[in-house]
Amino acid sequence: MDVDAVNKFSSLHAKPNGLILQYGTAGFRTKAYHLDHVMYRMGLLAVLRSKQTKSTIGVMVTASHNPEEDNGVKLIDPLGEMLAPSWEEHATHLANAEEQDIQAVLAEISHREAVNLQQKAMIVIGRDTRPSSEKLSQSVIDGVSVLGGQYHDYGLVTTPQLHYLVCCQNTNGQYGKATIEGYYQKLSKAFVELTKQTFRSGDEYRALKIDCASGIGALKLKEMECYLPRELSLHLFNDGTKGKLNHLCGADFVKSHQKPPLGIEVKPNERCCSFDGDADRIIYYYNDADGRFHLIDGDKIATLISSFLKELLSEVGENLKIGIVQTAYANGSSTRYLEEVMKVPVHFTKTGVKHLHHKAQEFDIGIYFEANGHGTVLFSKAAEMKIRQLAKEETDGKKRKAAVMLENVIDLINQTVGDAISDMLLIEAILALKGLSVQQWDAIYTDLPNRQLKVKVADRQVIDTTDAERRAVTPLGLQEVIDDLVKKYRFSRAFVRPSGTEDVVRVYAEADSQGSKELNLGVISSACS
C-alpha cells in the first residue's frame, strides 16, 4: 500500500468537519456537496473488497428516488447482490475516519478480512444523470487508482444494469454478456419468446405511457426500444430533456401522493407506469372513466406475478416451493388475498430490500416487492436447473410449453436486484398472455385505504420494534396506545418505526374507511411526538 499516495489523495478529498454518515440498505445518501470524501474512500474500499473476494466489485453513484441535489454511493458484491453486512460496517468506519487515520483504518480492514494486498482488483463504476454524478464518479476512480486497482467506467447506467454487469463479469458470462447491449439482448429475447404467440394471434397494439422521473431510465429505454417488438409501444414522459430529477414525478412521488406525476396526461383507462431516478422501482396506475386515480403498487405486482408463476408450475407438475416476502408496509388486503385465495405462504421481514432479498433466497421461487415497487423474482439454482431441463427434455407438449415459459421468465427477470425495466417487461408479458386490462388487474382485490407520514423527533432511536417492525417494543406504552386504537375499526392496522436515515419516525395506518385511517394516524402521530 502506497501510504504517501493514499494520504496525498485523502487531503484532496477532505472530509467536512463533524459530518457522520451511516452505510445502510441504500448505501450512503446525503447532499451531493458532502460526498466527495465518501466517494474517494469507497473507491479504496471497493479495491479491498475486490482483492478479498478475488472478484469484480461494482460502485454505483446514485441517490435513486431522492431529490436532484442529493447523491449517494453503493457497493455491489460479486454476484450482483448488495454489500455484505460486515463490509457495511467497514464502509461506515472508513467514511467517518479522520484524515490522519485513513491508512490505519485500511490496514485494520485488510487485517480483519485477511485481504491479500498483492491480489489484483477490478472495479466497475456506473452513475445516474444527476449533475453531481460525473464529478463524484471521478472521486471513486481516484480511490480505486491510488490502491492500484483496475477499473471500467460504464458511465450512465441504471443501478440494475450495473448489478447485472457485475454478475456477468463474475460468472464468466453464464448470467449474460457483460455489456449494456448484452443486457438489452437477454431481456428482449426472453420477452419476445414469452409473448410471440400472443402477439402473433392478433393481440391489440399495446401502448404504455412511462414516466421516467427525468432520470436514467428514459435514456436506456430509448436505447433498448429497437430490440423490442413493435407491438409494444412505449411512450416516454419526463425523459430528462426538461424538469428536475424526481421532482413532482417518479415512482416515489406517485406512491406517496397517490396521484399522477407532473408532465403526463392520463386519459381514462390508459395503462401508465412510473420509474424512479435510477430505474430500480416501478409503479403502475390509471384513471378510471370518472377520472378517479387508481394506484397499482408493488403488492399487486407481486400478486400478478405469483399468480402467473403458480399457474405455470401447476401445468409443469413440479412441486417447487413459492414464497412471497412482504414488509409491514404491504397492504393488508394483499396479504389476505395471497394467503386465503391464492394459498401462497407470505413471510414478513424488516423494511429494506436486503432483508426481503435474503428471505426470498430461502425458497425455490421467492417473490418480493416492496409496496414502493422495488422487487424481483428469485429462482434458486436447483429450481432453475430443473426448469431448464424440463424445457429441453419434457415430451408432454403442454408441460414442455409451460417449462419453456418459465425458462423465459428466468431470463427476463434481473435476479440480482429490483429492475424497473425487466419488471415492466414481465408485467406487460403477463397482461398480454392472460388478456388482462389494467382495470381487471386492479380488480383482483381492493386495497384498504392507507396513509403514511413522517413525525420529526429529537431521537428516533427511542423507538425499537419487533415482529418485522410491526410492533413497538419501546417506549413502553406506545404499542398499547396503537392496539387500543386499531381494535376500534374494521381491518384496522397501524405501526411506527424509526427511519434508517433521518431523525423522524415513520407512521403507517390502514383501515376499512378513509376516516378511520385518518383518525388512527392523527392519534398515533401525537403519541410518537
Show which residues are catalytic.
64
Report the C-alpha gap between 75 and 25 in whole angstroms.
Answer: 10
Judge whether 310 and 294 are in contact, CB under 8 Å: no
Q: Which residues pair with 24 in a beta bridge?
A: 27
Three-state secondary structure call for residue 234: strand
Q: Edge to edge, what strands does the sheet with 70-76 contain?
A: 28-31, 70-76, 56-61, 122-127, 150-156
Asked whether residue 188 is marked as a ligand-binding residue, the answer is no
Asked whether residue 2 is marked as a ligand-binding residue, the answer is no
Asked whether residue 190 is marked as a ligand-binding residue, the answer is no
Asked whether residue 526 is marked as a ligand-binding residue, the answer is no
The cell for 478 is 406506545
Q: Please spell the DSSP secondary structure of 74-105, one letter per residue.
A: EEE-TTSPBPPHHHHHHHHHHHHS-GGGHHHH
Asked whether residue 499 is marked as a ligand-binding residue, the answer is yes
Asked whether residue 278 is marked as a ligand-binding residue, the answer is yes
Report the C-alpha gap between 312 and 306 in whole angstroms.
Answer: 10
Judge whether 230 and 188 are in contact, CB under 8 Å: no
Q: Please spell the DSSP secondary structure of 439-471, one letter per residue.
A: HHHHTTS-PPPEEEEEEE-S-GGG-EEETTTTE
Closest by CA to 510, choosing from 527, 487, 529, 486, is 486
Report the C-alpha gap between 443 and 250 in whole angstroms.
Answer: 24
Backbone φ, ψ for residue 352 (5° rounding): 120, 125
Three-state secondary structure call for residue 279: coil
Indicate the length of the chain as a whole number: 529
Asked whether residue 64 is marked as a ligand-binding residue, the answer is yes
Asked whether residue 501 is marked as a ligand-binding residue, the answer is yes
Cβ within 8 Å of residue 514, ≥6 positions away = 449
Three-state secondary structure call for residue 82: strand
The DSSP element (H or E) to which 76 belongs, if any, is strand 70-76
Burial class (CB within 10 angstroms; exposed 0-12, middle 13-18, buried 19+) of 517 = buried
Neighbours of 150 (CB within 10 A): 14
Report the C-alpha gap between 374 and 17 in whole angstroms.
Answer: 35
Asked whether residue 49 is marked as a ligand-binding residue, the answer is no
The DSSP element (H or E) to which 60 belongs, if any, is strand 56-61
Tell me the pairing of strands 56-61 and 122-127: parallel
Cβ within 8 Å of residue 8, ≥6 positions away = none
The cell for 96 is 467517518
Q: What is the DSSP letter of 192?
A: H
Report the C-alpha gap between 461 and 503 in whole angstroms.
Answer: 8
Asked whether residue 497 is marked as a ligand-binding residue, the answer is yes
The cell for 521 is 394516524
The cell for 457 is 423527533
Known binding-site residues equal: 64, 276, 278, 280, 370-372, 497-501, 506
Known binding-site residues for substrate equal: 370-372, 497-501, 506
Known binding-site residues for Mg(2+) equal: 64, 276, 278, 280
